[in-house]
Chains A and B, each alone.
Chain A
C-alpha cells in the first residue's frame, strides 16, 4: 500500500545527536540523509514516499523541476510533494531562509523560548534531553520510522517530548522556535498547498495554483524581501494569512446566557477539526488561518454566523516569498509612515491587507420588541420569575441548552469574584517582535537590523499560545478547590466566593504559574497575558463583569463594583503581597485622602516623610514601586483577610 507523504518527517534528522560518541564513525553532517551511504553501513534505505523529504535542502530554488540538476535524483512522481514541502518549510521558518549567513553567534543545544529563556536548562535538570536518537541502534530506528510512521499525528505524539525541546534551527538567533511547532506547521501548510494545487504530469511537469503554472520554487515564491533592490521580484503564487477574531453582540442578561461561550467553544472545536490544516493556531476567540486565494471565509464560518457571531478579520494577501503572519503590521506601518521604499516593493508585488467583518443576515428594520440578548433579531415575549423578557429563538435555545451554571446556595447574599484570563493576540505579536529584537541586540551580531526586519512570528506565537493554555491548566490544577469553572471545558473563566484570603490566593496562584511558564515576559501593560477580577454582589448583572473583561488595561485588573478599579504590574503585586502589613491601614487611608483632595504626589511624599519612622513599611513601598497610595490601599482592602467588604 502506498503511504501518504508525511511532511512532518522532513526534519527528523534534527532529533539525532550527531556528536554522540557512538555515531562518530558515520561522519554525519547536516540534518538530512540524502547522501548517507546505506550500503557501506549495511543499513536498509527507506523506501516510502516520505524518504524524499530528505532532499528538501538540496534543491536549488531557481532550477526547473523537470530538468534541473538538483532534481535529477528525485523520481518524477515524487517531485510535486518535495516542491510543495520546500514552499511550506520556507513559510514556517522563523526567519527568512534567504538571509545571509549570520557570522559567529554560535549554537544552542535546546530551544530558547523568548518568554522562558531557561526552559531547556530546567527540563534538562529534570533528566530530559532534546535528542531522540543517540546510538547506532537509534540511527537504524530513525530510518525505520521514515517508513513505518503511519500519520503526522503518530509522529508528533511519539516524539513530542523531544520535539518540544529541540530548536527548529540550533544556530542563534534561529534557535527561538521549537521543532514541534515548526514541523506541525510545515505539515499543515504542505497539505493545504497539496489540496489546492493542480499537478500537471506528462512530458512536462507543472504545478498550478489559482491557474498560475510554475516549474521552479523561485517562480512560485518570488523574492524574499520587501525592501531594497535585490530579491524583490514578484512571485506567481500568492496565499493569505487571515487573523480571525470571533465576536458577539450579545449581552448576558442571566447567568445561563454564558452558555453562549459554550456554544462558541463547540463551534471553534468543530471548525478546527474540520479545517485543521488551515488553522495555524487558535484560542477560544481567535483563529489564525493559512489560505490559498479563493477559499471563501463566509462559507467556512457559516456555523458561527448562523449562531449570531461576528467574525472580524485581518487578511494579508502576498507572494509566498514574503507572506508571514506579521506582514500586515509591516504593511500598515509602512503606509502610515510613508515609507515609499517599502510600499513601492509591496505594491509591485500586489500585496494587500484587508480588514473585514462577516456578519449574520440582518434585517433592514425590526418592529419592536427586539431581542434583549443579541439585539439583532426580533424578540419574543417570555416570562421568568415575574419578569418579562424579549428573547429571540436562537438566544433562548442557547440559554436553555446544556447544563447551566448556578451559584451555590451558600453564596447567596454575599460578594463574589468573577475572573478571566485574557490573551491579547495583537499585543502578543508586538511583544514577540520586541523580545526578538532584544535577543538580537544581546547577541551583538552582524545584520542585526535585517534580522529584526525579517522576523516571522507565526511559530513563536503558536508556541506561546500552547504555553498559555498549559499555564491556565496548571492554574486550575492548583486552584480547583478555590474557584469554580462556570463552563467546564472553558479554562479562561472562573468565579469564587469573595474573601480577602481567596483573592490573595488566586492572585498568588496566578503569579506562581505565570512565573513558571512566562518568567521572562514582563507582566506590565504590554504583556499579552492578563488576568481581570471583577468583585460584586452575587446579584450584579453578569453582563457588566464581561464588559469589564473586554478591555483589560494592565497585567492584573481589579474592579470592585461601585468602589474602584485599578490595574497593577507584576512587580507591583509581588511587592504589595510581600510587604503590606495590617498596621499600615489607617496611614494608607490618610494618604489616599490627601491624594484625592490635592491630586499631588508632593503632598503625599511630604506626609510619608513626616511619618517615615513610624511608617517605615509604607515609606519603603511607596518609594520602591511609586504608585498612588489609593492603589496600595485598594489592593490592601481587597486582599485583607476577613475584611469589611466581605461583611457587607
Chain B
C-alpha cells in the first residue's frame, strides 16, 4: 500500500480536545484523521483521508488566553485558556501528513499548497505549508499506534487493531452539525504501516 507523504511546516497550531469546563482547552500532540479531513475539505473541497504526526523536538506547548465575544449580545464571554503548539527555537513546527494514495488523488495536488490546520484560524493559528512531497510504501509491522483515526477508516490505512484504545473524534456532517465517532487512539496495539507506529512490538497475537 502506498501513501503520499507531505512534509509540512507550521507556524503555530491548536488542535484542541473538547472544551473542558468551558475555560480550558488542552491541545493534542498528534493530528487526527478528523482534522486532516476538515483541513483539506476546506482547502481543496474534497474528501481526503490522512493522518499526521508532529515531529518531536520541533514544538513546545504554550498557553493562549482568548476572550470570546458574543456578537449578538455585544458582550464578552468568560475568557478561556487554550494550549497551542509553538515552534521550538527559531524554526517552524515540522509535521508529516500521510494520505492514502488512490487514483483520484495526485501528489501534484499538494505541491506548495498552503492551508490551515486546527482551530482559531482567525487568530493566526494553523497556517501550514507543504515543503516536500514523497511517495512511500512502508512495511507492515506490529506496534503501538502513534495517531488517532476513525475506527471505520482503519482499513483504508491498512491498520488492523489487535488491542484497542478507543476514544472519540468529532465527525462533521455539515457546517454546523456532526457527531462523535469512535476512533482508535494512540498506544493501541496494531498491525500497521510502520509510519504510523510509535514503536515496534513483538507480542503474541
Contact = CB atoms under 8 A, between A and B. Distances in A.
Interface in A313-331: none
Interface in A389-444: 389
Contacts of B63: 562
Which residue among A365, A373, A388, A389 has the maximum number of chain B CB atoms within 10 Å of its CB?
Answer: A365
Contacts of B181: 364-365
Interface in A326-344: 332, 335-336
Nearest to A373: B20
A310 B165 contact: yes
Nearest to B23: A387
Given A541-B24, A543-B20, A366 B165 contact: no
A356 to B, nearest CB: 5
B84 to A, nearest CB: 13
A538 to B, nearest CB: 14
B202 interface: yes
Contact of A366 (B179, B201, B204): B179
Nearest to B185: A249
B167 A375 contact: yes
A389 B26 CA distance: 16
B166 interface: yes
Which residue among A373, A386, A544 has the maximum number of chain B CB atoms within 10 Å of its CB?
Answer: A544
Interface in B171-200: 171, 178-182, 188-189
A354 B182 contact: no
Contact of A359 (B164, B168, B180, B204): B164
A368 interface: yes
A376 interface: yes
A359 B165 contact: yes
Interface string B52-91: 0000000000110000000000000010010000000000
Contacts of A365: 168, 171, 179-182
A541 B182 contact: no
Interface string A352-377: 11111101001111111010110110
Contact of A251 (B23, B26, B163): B26
Contacts of A310: 165
Contact of A547 (B26, B62, B203): B26
Interface residues of B, number: 32
A302 interface: no
Contacts of A357: 163-165, 188-189
B202 A335 contact: yes
A335 B204 CA distance: 11
A254 interface: yes
Tell me whether chain A's interface is mostly helix, strand or loop, or mixed.
mixed
A232 interface: no
B202 A336 contact: yes
Contacts of B203: 332, 353-355
Contact of A388 (B22, B171, B182, B201): B22
Nearest to A386: B78
Contacts of B179: 365-368
Contacts of A547: 26
Contacts of B136: none
B204 A353 contact: yes
Given A251-B26, A387-B78, A372 B18 contact: yes
A161 B166 CA distance: 47
Given A332-B203, A366-B180, A355 B20 contact: no
Contacts of A362: 166, 182
A312 B168 CA distance: 19
B19 interface: yes
B45 interface: no
Given A364-B182, A376-B167, A387-B78, A370 B26 contact: no
A246 to B, nearest CB: 14
A253 B26 contact: no
Nearest to B166: A362
Given A376-B166, A543-B26, A355 B189 contact: yes
B178 A376 contact: no
B21 interface: yes
B168 A372 contact: no
Nearest to A317: B204
A362 B202 CA distance: 28
A367 B26 CA distance: 22
Contacts of B170: 368
B204 A375 contact: no
A370 B20 contact: no
B18 A375 contact: yes
A364 B189 CA distance: 19
A249 B26 CA distance: 14
Nearest to B178: A368
B33 to A, nearest CB: 15
Contacts of B18: 370, 372, 375
Given A376-B166, A547-B26, 13 more contacts: A251-B26, A332-B202, A354-B203, A354-B204, A365-B168, A365-B171, A366-B168, A367-B180, A370-B18, A372-B19, A375-B167, A543-B24, A562-B62
21 contacts: A251-B20, A253-B21, A310-B165, A352-B204, A353-B204, A357-B188, A359-B165, A365-B181, A366-B179, A367-B179, A368-B179, A370-B168, A370-B180, A372-B18, A376-B168, A389-B21, A541-B24, A541-B81, A544-B26, A547-B26, A562-B63
Shortest 8 CB-CB contacts between residues of A and residues of B: A253-B21, A335-B202, A366-B180, A352-B204, A541-B24, A355-B203, A356-B163, A387-B22
Interface of B: 17-24, 26, 62-63, 78, 81, 163-168, 170-171, 178-182, 188-189, 201-204
